[in-house]
Structure 1
Amino acid sequence: MDADDSVREYLDAHTPLLLDRLAEWVRIPSVAGVPERKHHLTRSANWLAGELRGAGFPITEIWEGAEGPAVFAEWSGAPGAPTILIYSHHDVRAVKDENWDQTSPFDPVLRDGRLYGRGSSDAKGQVMAHVWGIRAHLDATGRTAPDVNLKLIVEGEEEAGSPGLADLLQAHRARLDADAVVFSDTLLWRAEHPAICTSIRGMLGAHLEVYGPFTDIHSGAVSGAAPNPALELSRLLAQLHDQKGRITFPGFYDDVEEISQRRRAELAALPFDPQDWLERSHTRSIVGEEGYTVLERLWERPALEVIALAAGDPIGVKRAAVPSMASADLSIRTVSGQSVQDVADQVRRWVKETISDGYSYELSLDTETAQEFYRTPDSRVLDSLSTAMTKGFQSQEVGRMGNAGGGPADLLSSALKVPVVFFGTGLVEDNWHDSDESVRVDILKAGAATLAFLWEELGRPD
């Protein structure tokens, strides 16, 4: 039996144990940004540290972050070989239990080839693919340590915007030296057509509050003469995009780089069917900026979404009152050429110039946790990952794609002065941040196999 078959045989034999361990971790409700859940972040970190020790890592540590602990691990048993730092996170998004149909969010269940539960895909499943990829690599090669030197940093506050990651990187800079980062918090294109993510959009959050009356006031007393902040906010939001789907902040597109012919060709090579996309993404229709394909809109063009909206009495008994305040949260995705600081200035100027007289407002921008766009440069690690994915997914072709969301890739690259390469085991149909999140078991295993092959590829002499 060759090494490739040995990796797959090992993972097949240990799939029940892999899923059992992942399910145990998913049961820990390590929700970011919820004070009453904070101690679960510590439990989650300690669970992972123990799992890494069980896999063979001789060094595991817990590093306290701003809002949640990070797990650091190191296994440097291959002198002269490359050193790879693996990045991911163990915190998860908040849940609305009443919206889950397959199971309760933290009561994982295996059904029809999927493991359901919050964090099963984003991103505890991705971390477990690494753990079992290392185990399979050691079993297939007969080595007592991986072919490369491995370090991990699995943070506990990514879903809160990684507010403490920069400080952690600075405080432990010497411990984190590596030749490259493998960033595992991303999606694949399709189960039947794997692709390497080679870019990730930047992200800037904004919160806008518009004020009308000084208090909520009975509409029967003031209707028709009082400023209604819900109407004014609606007017503002309606002007965020023009008729061609372009964002209207002044100067917003001035620094946006045109999509290269190489990138257009990479994205055009991916199989895309509109109906398939609508079904997998659970979206009703396709909208967006004119003149660009769906994949170009997702990965190479900027975007702006309203992700929360509140005014008056959205739940409970209505008081028939004109609300004193209306609020909206915006998520702005930036692309190559843009700076989140410049975009923040554009947002400030737009709101100031666009809001009507008779209203006041407060605008806050999350510049401290904003993330810049990042693109992976060509490198040996990227080439090795492509080879490893061909083996791991048993595919004749591995495409190139992007990530529509954000992440601290630029922060990691700039702080550590190394390239970042992306590899994840998620799919758009895994329902990240939504109800009934799940991970496909076969994709999890293919991801673990890919990682086993990656360490072998990178361990070969140049």
Structure 2
Amino acid sequence: MTEIHDYLAAHRSDIVTELTEWMRLRSVAGVPAHAVELIRSANWLAAVLRDTGFPVVEVWDGEGAPAVYAEWCEAPGAPTVLIYSHHDVRAAKDEQWTESAPFDPVLRDGYLYGRGGSDAKGQVLSHVWGLRAHLATSGRDVPAVNLKLLVEGEEEVGSPHLADLLEEHRERVGADVVVFSDTLLWRADHPAICTSLRGMISAQLTVYGPLRDVHSGTVSGPAPNPVVELSKLLAELHDDKGRITLPGFYDDVAEPSTRTREDYAALPFSEEDWLARTETRSVGGEDGYTVLERLWARPAAEVITVVAGDPDGVSRGAVPAEARAEVSIRTVPDQKVADVADQLRRLVASTIGDGVAYELTISEETAQEPYRTPEDSPWLGALAEAMHKGFGSAPGRMGNAGGGPADLLATTLRAPVLFFGTGLPEDRWHDSDERVSVDVLLNGAATLAHLWPRLADRDQV
């Protein structure tokens, strides 16, 4: 254990330098102006993987952004592992960043600030340096397991072309197990194995009132106001107990198992610590469940965007012609995206008044189903031992509140998914001043260096 940590500590500045270089690339998903940066990002990673020793490294140019594929399969009889992550990042509003500019990373107090440091370029580089540490300290010329790596460039926009990419390269990406690295730990001093990922479906609702923006002094009172109609609907998404009001929504919601409840209850938690780390001000949600159960084992519906009238500048004093909201629904086993989409359509149709018109767009093509690693999976034991070695303490178990293509990978490849990421709740994913703990990156890399020989040992799995 000491040898692996010593190797990584000796290369701490190299890891920071490498990650800083990659984070400077503005590889923002879904923005045509940054398409070339996504190509540069993919080629940057491809070069690093070749330098690490991967004999096969390819940049796959599909209909969407480029993905990077690599393989190092020279361990006969050992399991084949597919590592999944992504190199695209969320857009950043530069004027809201106060610790650093989003694409000019700064190292401060053990954190590297900048977009993509935690979500998820840092997680990818933990794999790179974990492999380097594994080879350097084991005396091996090749990894103990057969490794494949797939790092896509569209995760932040819902992975719209990942299914086609997996189908096109089905024979190349086959594996015995998938290691999914786009997730969180619990705390730097108390790591936890993520065993589940909620599903996700997004919708945009536009309500139309007057045929154009109209001076409120002219029509105020009898004119239909789309903001009021939209607000009524959004207010009715939850009842007074915090439950989601879509018709039939809870019919297929599986209750958390006794094991799951016990795992979450065993994690060190206080509301004070949670609020400080997440900067969420207060705790809400569904009655009858703990904060962590609400977060990882229960569904949620959030209003992400509301736009109407004159949000910027001087108000024109007009009744707006339209109001728009974006809603994100997080699902849990055994819910299905198609069913939730129908439930949302029914709620909107029954709630929006006749005096306005509306358009509801549900992005089913980028929706993601929830996934849970089987509780009795033997791969979990190997990961727990590796995390204990990597972080110096026995890990607990947790879930992940976000979405991702874990179910798609598991279904397409017919392989179980293990989650291992190096993010923390306080890393400010998708927000200004995103950051990553360098110590956590190094401990994550140490975990991966310990994981590969354990997965290679069939007695361990």
- Same fold by TM-score, threshold 0.5 exceeded? yes
Alignment match of 1:307 (pick from 304, 313, 330): 304
User: In structure 1, what is the equivalent of residue 389 of structure 2?
Assistant: 391
Opposite residue 250 of structure 2, the aligned amino acid is Y
Residue identity over aligned pairs, in percent, reads 66
1:261 to 2:258 alignment: yes
User: How far off is 1:422 after superposition?
Assistant: 0.1
For residues 440 and 67 of structure 1, the distance between their equivalents in structure 2, rounded to whole angstroms, comes to 31
Alignment match of 1:330 (pick from 327, 330, 352): 327
For residues 455 and 226 of structure 2, the distance between their equivalents in structure 1, rounded to whole angstroms, comes to 58
1:99 to 2:96 alignment: yes
Contact 1:245 1:289 in 2 (8 A): yes
Contact 1:384 1:454 in 2 (8 A): yes
User: Per-residue CA shift, 1:14-54, capped at 9, x if unaligned?
Assistant: 01001100000000000001110011000000000000001
Opposite residue 280 of structure 2, the aligned amino acid is T
User: How far off is 1:192 after superposition?
Assistant: 1.0
Contact 1:66 1:163 in 2 (8 A): no
User: In structure 2, what is the equivalent of residue 184 of structure 1?
Assistant: 181
User: In structure 2, what is the equivalent of residue 204 of structure 1?
Assistant: 201
For residues 366 and 87 of structure 2, the distance between their equivalents in structure 1, rounded to whole angstroms, comes to 18
Alignment match of 1:119 (pick from 116, 121, 125): 116
For residues 102 and 354 of structure 1, the distance between their equivalents in structure 2, rounded to whole angstroms, comes to 44
Extract unaligned runs of 5+ from structure 2.
none
User: Per-residue CA shift, 1:177-227, capped at 9, x if unaligned?
Assistant: 110000000000111111000000000000000010111111111011100
Alignment match of 1:293 (pick from 290, 301, 305): 290
Question: What are the residue-to-residue correspondences of 1:348-359 with 2, within 5 Å?
Answer: 348-359=345-356
1:157 to 2:154 alignment: yes
User: Per-residue CA shift, 1:145-174, capped at 9, x if unaligned?
Assistant: 000000000000000100010000000000
For residues 209 and 49 of structure 2, the distance between their equivalents in structure 1, rounded to whole angstroms, comes to 55
Opposite residue 102 of structure 2, the aligned amino acid is P
SS at match of 2:249: coil
Question: What are the residue-to-residue correspondences of 1:18-417 with 2, within 5 Å?
Answer: 18-377=15-374, 378-395=376-393, 397-417=394-414
Opposite residue 142 of structure 1, the aligned amino acid is G
User: How far off is 1:461 after superposition?
Assistant: 4.2
Extract unaligned runs of 5+ from structure 1.
none
For residues 297 and 150 of structure 2, the distance between their equivalents in structure 1, rounded to whole angstroms, comes to 28
For residues 384 and 327 of structure 1, the distance between their equivalents in structure 2, rounded to whole angstroms, comes to 48
Name the TM-score, length of structure 1 as normaliser. 0.98
SS at match of 2:298: coil
Count of equivalent residues: 458
SS at match of 1:254: helix
Structure 1 residue ranges (4+ consecutive) displaced by more than 6 angstroms after TM superposition: none
Name the TM-score, length of structure 2 as normaliser. 0.99
Contact 1:33 1:67 in 2 (8 A): no
SS at match of 1:204: strand
For residues 271 and 18 of structure 2, the distance between their equivalents in structure 1, rounded to whole angstroms, comes to 37
RMSD: 0.7
Q: Which piece of structure 1 moves more, 323-332 or 373-382? A: 373-382
User: How far off is 1:381 after superposition?
Assistant: 1.8
